[in-house]
Chain A
Amino acid sequence: MIGASIQEALTLNALIGIGGGVFMGYVIGVIPGLSRSVAIAIAIPLTFYMSPLVAISFLIGLSKGTAAGSAVSAILLNAPGEASSAATALDGYPLAKSGKPKTALQVGLVASVAGDILATIILIFVAIPFARVALMFGPYEMAAILAFALVFIAGLSGGNIFKGLAAGAFGIFLGTIGLDAQTGLPRLTFGYTQLMDGVPLIAVAIGTLALSEMFVQSEKLRFQRETMAVKLEHRADDHITFPILRRIIPTILRGTGIGTFVGALPGLGPSVGSWMSYGVAQKWSKTPENFGKGEPQGIAASESADNAVIPAALIPLFGLGIPGNVSAALLIGAFAIHGITVGPLLLRDEPELLYSIFAGMVVASIFMLILGWFGLMVFAQITRVPPHVVIPIVIFFCLGGILLQGYGTFGLVILMGFALLGYLMKKYDYSFVTFLVAFIITPMLELNLRQSIILSRGEWSILLDRPIAIFFIACTIVALVMLGQRTLRGSREVEAVAQT
């Protein structure tokens, strides 16, 4: 079966999908302001006519390509394509300015690919046993785990757990719109037949992530207009050497470990991974004073962790069906569009597809290395595209993506509503990550809650026979108390600083 799955991932269609995804991801990642989640949100409508394997491989390739591409703008522009590459800019830009832009880019690329491949291997070896254990879970355990994940994400993806909880609860509220699964009656649809299937995920994702981000970017243009990229020239001494490679290998391994650990925990995201890895690399370095001045180890630490987070975030997704971040949440949506339930059931019902996806992920890493190595000059040119040119084009594709699905005016109005919501959430620090994850997992949460209530016939004591469910309920309460305390303590510290 595994051999057939690998063959499936090596068909021409799959290779075109994966290669196309990585290439598109690279191009989008290089453009500052266009993040991984924006890229996936815009690309989901393109995957409708693809087979499930090609569609998912395309989106995972896109995600990987974006992470690697964002390093290019961080190094050449000092303007990271996304927040997780900000640590890369600390050493990448000074190294590029010192006349070694190609070396900086190659160090970033090698670290990205190594971190990505190693984390993918860890994913393959961890997710399957994880899913086997999860298959033994019943609705009580799944409902408790989902509630715990939501609280965890709410507390960690933003600074304020109360705002995170409010955002998550709003996501749950909107996720319940549509036909009630038990009664078959419309729920919270306000009489609109278009809402019978629920609020369209594509409109929510594109509005909250992509369109709102374009409005945020256009607001920034008021102060930041032109960007100056470091020029990439052919120089004999400007390339990665064996001594550099030998120095960065331990850093890459450490960064991969940190990125994998952070990625596997829901809610933390790649930024935490890359900064944590950078800090640890500086601490372990024999020359910590060189960090921030063009140290290749700094680039390797940040990039390896950033890229390791992507496969690692799929561990809870494939193992439990819980998305650890926005990109994983969007993948759940993409799976759902193709009629596939992601999580432990995927291992039971469609193991070939799961193994093919894993094989596709390794192929995507190889594409990433080839495209990155030979396309450096081309991608470096893309950094010269001014941001004001990108915004109207992305907005156009956002509208086009909605119309491709045939949602018409209603879809566009919903899109604008969620763009405004996403903009306000970003502006007022309400976690849009929690909102989106909650919105996407609500049907699963509600289903498991309903099954638990029906099976228990309203008897809470049945939980006493369910130690795993009790454990996660206790974890949820502990996380709520601890993260609540952290938020309250944080605000007191801010007030003290403001008063002094």
Chain B
Amino acid sequence: MQRQSFWSGLVVIAFALLALNWIIPEYAGVNPQAQMPPELVPSIASWIMLISGVIIVLRSVVGMARTGQMPVTREINWSALSWAAWPFLYVGAAIVVLDNFGLIGLGHLNILGRDDVKLTYAGAPMIMGMLYLLGERRWHVLLGCSLVPVALLYGLSVHLMRVGVI
């Protein structure tokens, strides 16, 4: 825990310093006439992050020194790490594929006179693929669990299009 706090505290400090030295001066905008400058609240937030980050790191350093821990370890569980990472990569890859193949948006079957393929078309294989990777092998479960949610979203999107919300 101390090691995790140490590294996460460093990330907080790094972000706060980045915000104070680059993000806020470059992108917060200035208005000399304003009684409350636009950078005031983001700057206060960054200072709170910086101070909190320093305390988190100092506490974890003291804790590690007392318990004889080192900030780095060779005991990285690659199997656990890859198990934790693959769902992110899967969803991330799905978004990239959807974007590159022009599938972003909600689906319909030419109701509005367009024939673009959307998430409701790509959704079923996406769910099915993830179910398979999570260990599901029963074909009826694969089929049902991937088609029913897509049909529900499809129905909802068609309804919302008809009432003019989307």
Contact = CB atoms under 8 A, between A and B. Distances in A.
Contacts of A189: 27
B10 to A, nearest CB: 12
Interface in A384-428: 388-389, 391-393, 395-397, 399-400, 403-404, 406, 408-409, 412-413, 416, 419-420, 423-424, 427-428
Nearest to B160: A49
Interface string A222-262: 10010000000000000000000000000000000000000
B45 interface: yes
Contacts of B42: 172-173, 176, 187-188
B76 interface: no
B145 A187 contact: no
A395 B130 contact: yes
A13 interface: no
Contact of B134 (A162, A392, A446): A392
Nearest to A217: B87
B119 A403 contact: yes
B157 to A, nearest CB: 7
A338 B156 CA distance: 20
B48 A397 contact: no
A49 B141 CA distance: 32
Interface stretch (A275-283, A369-377, A448-456): A448-456
B165 interface: yes
Interface residues of B, number: 69
Interface in B58-105: 59, 63, 66-67, 80, 83-84, 87-88, 91-92, 94-95, 98-99, 104-105
A429 B99 CA distance: 33
A428 B29 contact: no
A400 B28 CA distance: 32
A190 B95 CA distance: 22
A437 B98 CA distance: 32
A452 to B, nearest CB: 9
B104 A166 contact: no
B66 A495 contact: yes
A169 interface: yes
Contacts, number: 193
Contacts of A35: none
Interface residues of A, number: 72
Contacts of A406: 166
A214 interface: yes
Contact of A450 (B1, B5, B36, B134): B36
A89 to B, nearest CB: 25
A413 B88 CA distance: 12
Of B48, B136, B153, most buried by chain A (CB within 10 Å of CB) is: B48
Nearest to A405: B166
A81 B66 CA distance: 39
Given A219-B83, A499-B66, A173 B130 contact: no
Interface string A161-184: 011011011101100100010110
B67 A182 contact: no
Given A49-B160, A173-B45, 19 more contacts: A166-B48, A166-B56, A169-B45, A172-B45, A173-B46, A186-B29, A388-B131, A389-B145, A392-B126, A393-B149, A395-B87, A397-B149, A399-B119, A409-B98, A412-B95, A419-B88, A446-B41, A450-B36, A494-B1
